[in-house]
Chain A
């Protein structure tokens, strides 16, 4: 079964600090990878996705993620966070034809002004 691991469930940092959130998955075959973000009181929104090609993908709001196949990882990064980046971030993996997403537990990120 697919499993997705996200560490450091709670992250607190100051504005302008750099952010990196780790995501590791267990499936060994071809995968599609996603990061979703949930701002307070809002629904899950797609931040970025990887299907194939360049392993460094860029998403909205200055976020990027790097797919490292040998490490089964898809880490999310932002060089300089803003207060508005306060949200919960979820990594998700799709590894079968049903497009059934397996989510990690999420990272609660709080950015202090």
Chain B
């Protein structure tokens, strides 16, 4: 399968611990997005990268959240000092964008997500 891959599929951790999730996008895709989805809601945008540059991070939920894409390929999302409210599905998506600052018509391809449960 050459789709978007996320690891792990499930993460259970105690409150206060740090967690890191990985996303491998479709190989030729230059844009990578992170979303969060809670029960009964649609995905909520967090941040995105074009190649290795993080172009939007104002929607990250707090300074405990950070994301990287150091080589423009895979990305990691880290949550420090986890809280109960961080329990959610974290989704990664990728797309191939031909420009910046234009309304793109390229759809995003989503991974299976990482389900985070905080005890």
Contacts and interface: CB of A to CB of B under 8 A. Distances in A.
Main secondary structure of the interface of B (DSSP, over half): loop
Contacts, number: 71
Contacts of A100: 33, 45, 48, 56, 59
Contacts of A106: 40-42
A51 B44 CA distance: 22
A94 B104 contact: yes
B2 interface: no
Contacts of A90: 42-43
A103 interface: yes
B25 interface: no
A93 B42 CA distance: 12
A77 B3 CA distance: 27
Main secondary structure of the interface of A (DSSP, over half): loop
Interface residues of B, number: 33
A34 interface: yes
B90 to A, nearest CB: 13
A34 B93 CA distance: 14
A32 B113 CA distance: 24
Interface residues of A, number: 30
B23 to A, nearest CB: 12
Given A30-B103, A94-B103, A99 B108 contact: yes
Contact of B113 (A43, A46, A94, A97): A43
A27 to B, nearest CB: 11
B62 interface: no
